[in-house]
Chain A
Amino acid sequence: MTTVLGLYNYWIVVVLMMIGLYIVIANGNLVKKIIGLNIFQTSVFIFYISLGKVDGGTAPILVEGVELYSNPLTHVLILTAIVVSLATTALGLAIVVRIKEAYGSIEEEEIQIKDNKEC
């Protein structure tokens, strides 16, 4: 029972990661692929944060009379990672927009068909 409770978070992370991966692999739509990528990223964020959580600890802002804090290092890593994920998402979406303008479609297969025709 304790192992189940102790590892519950990681399992959720794994499931989320699987879902994200599945979307990225199986969906043809490029926007949806980016959303899948976002889910994948979030699962990694949650993984790091749950690594840094300490039982009975509180947020790592020093106050008097509190001894135990959660791990600030993972928070720092993820904080920057989130902003970078925003940047990558924006870049990805920009590329999607350009693809739409160039091919008239954002479905993977249609783009492939068009590419083959041109060759």
Chain B
Amino acid sequence: MLIAATVAMLVVMALTIIRGFLGPTFYDRILAVNMFGTKTVLLISLLGFVMGRPEFLDIAIVYALINFISVIGVLRFSNSPVFKHDIQEKDSGENSS
């Protein structure tokens, strides 16, 4: 059962990475990174149980925290003028297409 869940996690991670590649806007990419982080947390807790070393859970906690921090950081810096400008350009490009 654990193995099945691990495989499912890997598949979902692959799907998320695909979204990260394609992601037309960069919010899609941020979303992909965020979801990827959550899935990694789950994957690592599962791996810890599969290998029979539950000490690995510490790493999962770190992941959860770091993931949050990096998402917030991304959003914080995406507010800077350089990005704002680019988003607008991109948006208009998308609308016209």
Q: Which residues of A contact B (CB under 8 A)?
A: 58-59, 61, 63
Contact residues of B between 48 and 76, Cβ < 8 Å to A? 51-53, 55-56
Q: How far is the CA of A63 from the CA of B56 in the complex (A)?
A: 14
Binding site for A on B (CB under 8 A): 51-53, 55-56
Q: How many angstroms from the CA of A63 to the CA of B55 in the assembled complex?
A: 11
B59 to chain A, nearest CB (A): 10
Q: Is the interface of B mostly helix, strand, loop or mixed?
A: helix
Q: How far is A61 from B53 in the complex, measured between Cα atoms in Å? A: 10
A-B contact pairs, 9 of them (CB 8 A): A58-B51, A58-B52, A58-B53, A59-B53, A59-B55, A59-B56, A61-B53, A61-B55, A63-B53
Q: Which residues of B contact A58 (CB under 8 A)?
A: 51-53
CA distance A59 to B55 in the complex (A): 10
Instruction: List the B residue with the shortest CB-CB distance to A61.
Output: B55
Q: How far is the CA of A55 from the CA of B65 in the complex (A)?
A: 31
CB distance from A31 to the nearest CB of B (A): 13
Chain A contacts for B52, CB-based, 8 A:
58
Q: Which residues of B contact A59 (CB under 8 A)?
A: 53, 55-56
Q: How far is the CB of B62 from chain A (nearest CB, A)?
A: 14
Given contacts A58-B51, A63-B53, 7 further A-B contacts (CB under 8 A): A58-B52, A58-B53, A59-B53, A59-B55, A59-B56, A61-B53, A61-B55
Rounded to whole angstroms, the CA-CA distance of A59 and B52 in the bound complex is 11
A63 contact set on B, CB distance < 8 A: 53
Please measure, in the bound complex, the distance between the C-alpha atom of A59 and the C-alpha atom of B53, giving whole angstroms: 8
Interchain nearest-CB distance for A48 vs B (Å): 19
Chain B residues whose CB sits within 8 angstroms of the CB of A61 once the complex forms: 53, 55
